[in-house]
Amino acid sequence: MTGTAGRIVLLLAVGALGLAGCGAPNPRPGAPATVTETSVSVQPPAEASTPTSTVARLVTVPDVSGMNHQAAQDAMQAAGLYNLREVDGTGKGRMLVADRNWVQTGQDPAPGTKVAADAVITLTAVKIGEK
């Protein structure tokens, strides 16, 4: 074959050989098939940027001194403060497990301070009856 017909046959043969190398191999009858896993990471579409205020919402820290620790936590959360840290006021490093058995002896930042809603609020307490 010569000319255009020969070139077409040659191109078809080369194309068929190229396709034979694509994809999973053709296993022998009875042989296990080869499986390839692929993971794909999909990023959500970027939202249109809208101008936002650069002023953070400030929250006034409530006064929880002398309160039961559970009530102090509730008061902080009612004010919009959720990033609460608990400290044993005796310095023994105990965990405040039963919150109702503890009484507030200190807080940081001080009551009345204006803070960002995500600010860390440290609540210091001792077990009821301890000093």
What is the predicted pLDDT for the residue at 101? 94
Q: Where are the domains positioned within the chain?
A: 58-127
62-99 pLDDT tens trace:
999 999 999 999 999 999 999 999 999 999 999 988 99
Range 58-127 classified under CATH 3.30.10.20? yes
17-74 pLDDT tens trace:
444 445 545 555 555 544 444 444 455 666 655 555 556 789 999 999 999 999 999 9
Q: Which of 104, 100, 105, 117 is nearest to 61 (CA)?
A: 117
Determine contact, residues 93/126, Cβ cutoff 8 Å: no
What is the predicted pLDDT for the residue at 75? 97
What letter would DSSP give residue 102? E
What letter would DSSP give residue 54? S
Quote helix, strand, coil % in the chain, to nearest 5.
25, 20, 55
